[in-house]
Structure 1
Amino acid sequence: MEISQETDLLLPDMLPCAMTYAHASSNHQTGTDRMDAAIKFINTTNSHIFLTGKAGTGKTTFLKNLAQKTHKSFVVVAPTGIAALNAGGVTIHSQFLLPRGTFLPERFLPEDFNSNGSYFATDTLGRKHPLNSDRKQVLRAIDLLVIDEVSMLRADVLDAIDYRLKAVRRNFYQSFGGVQLLFIGDLYQLPPVVRGEDTQVLGRYYSSPWFYEAKALHHAPFVYIELDKIFRQQDNTFISILNNIRNNDITESDIERLNEHYKTEESIKEIQEVITLTTHNYKADELNRNSLRELDSPSHYYTANVQGDFPESMYPVLQQIELKEGAQIMFIKNDSDGKAYVNGNLATVKTLTEDSITVLMADTHETYTLKKEVWENKKYTVNANTRELDEQVIGTFEQYPVKLAWAITVHKSQGLTFDKAIIDVDQAFADGQVYVALSRLRSLEGLVLRSRINPRAIGTNKNVAAFDEQYNKPGKLLPELSAGQQDYAFDILSKTFDFENLVSEIRYAQKGNADVPVKEISTKPVLAQLEESLSAESGTTNKFKYQLDNLFQRGDNAMLLERIQKGSVYYKDLLYKNLDTLLRHIAETKQRKRVKTYLNSLNDLDQLLSKKIEDIDNAATLTRAILSGTDPEGLATLAESRATMRTALQQEIEKTIPPVVTKPKRKKGTRGEKDGKSTYDITLDYFNAGMTLSQIAKERGLTKGTIQGHLAKAVETGRVDIFKFIDKDRVEHIMQAIAEMPEAFSSKELFDKLGGNFSYGELRAAMAYAGKKVVEKKEK
């Protein structure tokens, strides 16, 4: 069937289609202009983007507002659990199921690495760490991948992400399988961590460990957008000093100006309601412990309520908080109910009871009664009914949002703002530490130095500085936007109305499920019907794409949009008929047993077919926005229309094929209480009944590490023998490491000492067995 009678295309003398950044008439954009430009790049190009900026320029705010600004489906990931929690996303390793260790960008591990479990290659990922159907569907559903705190992202991890996306989307021709990437972060702050021999190993493949060295980016350049409007500081002298530190241009005058704020220890003791930023955990912990010990009031303890799957590595505050009246505390998140406090506000504990904490706010001197906050651990899923990307809460952590705050590390001060702070950086050991510490302050007026600034400790990484100088070219933004929009428009026209990939997936599903004994809804197998229906359109589709390309190259925008609109109507009708056939087959297949793998294949095809309908539905709107330099409007209305259409199809199917009724399962994250029992007791009951840790984890919908953490509680109370669930050799290995630790240490420090070869659950159990009190110190 032909969809066009246009054979004689007009040849008007027209200008090429105009694709420019609307209202940006200058290369010297303001910070807000650059935020707008970043949204333009996201919405109207497929260009990868590095969004950076000095401390306090609005990167976090941009991410929080992104969902309201873009039509694209996206997930947010970050290198660490705490960073992911703060960004409202998930960890890179959990989303992409990456093993712990170092990724080598090879198909197979070199021979000298084969016996070393600390390294993995693409073959290792495919064979030993395959993605399940749910994870695959999420990665096929996204248009955009957001990576926050990208300064901590190593190049090898980014290459592992690249391989995962290419393999899942079966697109090895484009970087990241055709997914657009948005990198957010400041490379002058937290650097990527490379330990021991990994430095030499990574040196075989990368010039440096920073994300921009990834091989995936060698042929897929990214746009560099620096937000330059500083919202945190208004002190021009201070801003100038910070910029000089950042750019390795610090002067003697700058050092002298900073050291004017040095105070003796006697003077510092007189300062009230101020926090100390220091370089090392042990220094911060010692100051907090000593300060708490000096208070005469009794200790009160407040324990968090942890439900479902919430890994210990993600705990935002201590599971058990110890407080005394008079203790100095800091809020570690914004008030969810109002504006009583923001992340980083200081307060002093005024009164404590068993279930109440009252504090005196440092900034307003008002009394405030604390409320517990809930943090959510979530995972991304594809909604089975709508085929839209969704979020599912799988665990929660409820606790008072405070921590002792006479001191914190520079590392943990990331993202915080203080009116006044004592800075102690005489032992700075990493590039950027001094810059991060100083940039937490609003002005020089609030600076107190415990030790004088050493010019030799102020450096920023030369590799990063060279990268910044090479790529930070604000004047190139407009040409890059125009070129990116043209490429994106061409992609829409050439790929949206192409069904070869969809046909290939149908053939792949047929081949992989050739022996499945399922009753078909007609004499011809359903998948063969779908393949035949779409393959029959190849001639018509090729003609149509030729027409669109011809009109696009001529700049005949009006005719181009008209053809896209008419073609969209035709192809949506065709695809909805095929979707109806597929959904009926899925409904029938659900009536049968032992067809899980086949059903997963059908669900994958359902997702791909629904995604193709969405792309076609949006084609005219997106193309119009690109051609006119405006924001795409009306996409939400189109999404609602598709949801209504899908619901109608499903309702019609249910009239002839009733849905399968299954016994409802309790959702993950709600398995904490059963008949009045705590989540720990439920796990112990299963364990005492003879179930293995893996069986308990599967039954409860939790991770094996979480189950180990539950049993660690039982070890602490003497209700279970540690050797019943952890091998003796492993316990002894941990015990030896514990003996080498200082008096007070965290499970995170023990985890690092043991090279990440033991789970947090194993460590907590061994610490309980050793009678060692856990002093939690969460790393960001």
Structure 2
Amino acid sequence: KIKSGTKIFEAVVTGDFPERSFPADDKLELKIGAKVMFLRNDSENPRRFFNGKIGQITGWDKDIIRVKCPEDNEPIAVLPVEWENIRYQTDESTLLVKEDVLGTFRQYPLRLAWAITIHKSQGLTFDKAVIDAESAFAAGQVYVALSRCRSLEGLVLQSKINAGSIQNDNEILRFSSRHLNVDELENRFSSSRQEYFLSLLLQVFDFRQMLAVSGRWLTSTADAETSFGSETLEFLRNINAQINAIHDVGARFGTQISQILKHNEFNHDALNLRLEAADTYFSEKLNLLTDTLRQSPATTDSRENAKEFDQYYLDIFTFAAQKKHWISGIRDGFGIEKYFQLRKSFELPAIKYTSYSRHQKQEKLSSRRPDLMGILYELRNSIVDDTGLPVYMVAGSHSIAEMADYLPQTKSDLLKISGFGEARVAKFGELFLEEIRDYCLENGLTSAMDELAGREKRKRKDKKEKSEKKIKGSSALLSFQEYKSGKSVEKIAAERSLSVGTIYGHLGRYVTKGELTAEEFVPPGELQRAKSILEKTDEDVSIYSKLKEHYSQGEITIISAWLRKEQS
């Protein structure tokens, strides 16, 4: 029994911290010489103590308790630590999990420990141990207790261990019976390493993700064709065709590699020859792709469309640069370590790109008077800066190109320029007209609005002829014929420069007519499920609103067409 005086260290509790949740004694009674156990890990670096470490009190000062542990040369100066009672909840506006501290408990992380529970002793090792495992309720507890001592000489059993507490685990026995010898393990390791080697190598020549992103880029831009123009779509079709060709060669090359490395035969010479040839081919094609990307003609007055377009542009450029870096890096041989070094060392080449006309240094619309076009762009941009209005609400790129080409002199002339209505002419018209008049005066030019009138007449004629052609060959019928020829909805949309939703609308008509089946687009079980959802929901709510959480827009179009056929 320790005869020295007792000192009580009281915890400081703030806020909401239930007594049943106290992580330590709220009144810690200690004597010099008492054996104690730490209740948590040290937050300092290097770590001085950990949860479960045992030591002895050697003294204390005002705020410090000194604990000497057998394995340490010097006592540990222990300060009070703080535990928090935290409530976690989801912020409905951001859907992020946030923490609310409800209360705190501040106390020395110590507890009297003349003995230690088996659970707390996990991870500890003793020279000597007196073990009382009579009441152990799991075989694992007895194992932990008996394995804490470094030798049998230091082990003392205070009570009898029940036979039921020591068991042979059937799972362990089964594992032992399947135990492989060293040679078998080496063979299995070699085989697994070969499979992993091949999987990483195939990733280098896998262009599926790049092709998928390119397809989405083309479809997205086709939906906004009026914002970008047909020249941009032709550019993207070229990009998509290049990537498609690269993807096909990459797939065939992957098959060749698999053949070279099959049956665990590492034919490094044959592989290295193929990798060298691959670098020659793919580097040329990927360089051509990035060169084509740098010549993008895309320009739009819509900030939102530009943002989406530019992200796709950057994704494809990154894919191309990354693949070229990897393929060139393994020209002289491939290895697992080299693969990860190449991934780590990749740096995206510096590239500044935007399709947003406000930020383009060199405008991409051609004009017979590029100098005037530049003057009008500067004026437009200064108005945008002063007013904070979007570009398209002041003057779009096509409007500026027409003004530079046809030189309007009056507000009546300006009303004939595309994009200029009465409100815009009233607000900004005189500013643009003043610049155009000055330019004409300096260069001895007169208005060319009569040319614009002739052009508009030709456009109306072309539009009429185009409309007549469309009547002869219905757009929906063309989509139907393309689909029946074996093309996918996405491919039809890309080739016709229409949205995927429009193509689904075309095909939905033929579902209603019975010339196509809804099951070609939506599984039969899902059709019945959709019907059940619609029957259970409010009739005043639209079909789209009822089904949008379960189906894509295209599927909803087909389901609606199927329901119309059912009702008829």
Tell me the TM-score range normalised by the shorter chain. Answer: 0.3 to 0.5
Q: Which has the larger radius of gyration?
A: 2
TM-score (norm 2): 0.43
TM-score (norm 1): 0.33
- Name the structure with the higher helix share: 2
Of the two structures, which has the highest relative contact order with CA contacts closer than 8 Å and spacing of 6 or more? Answer: 1
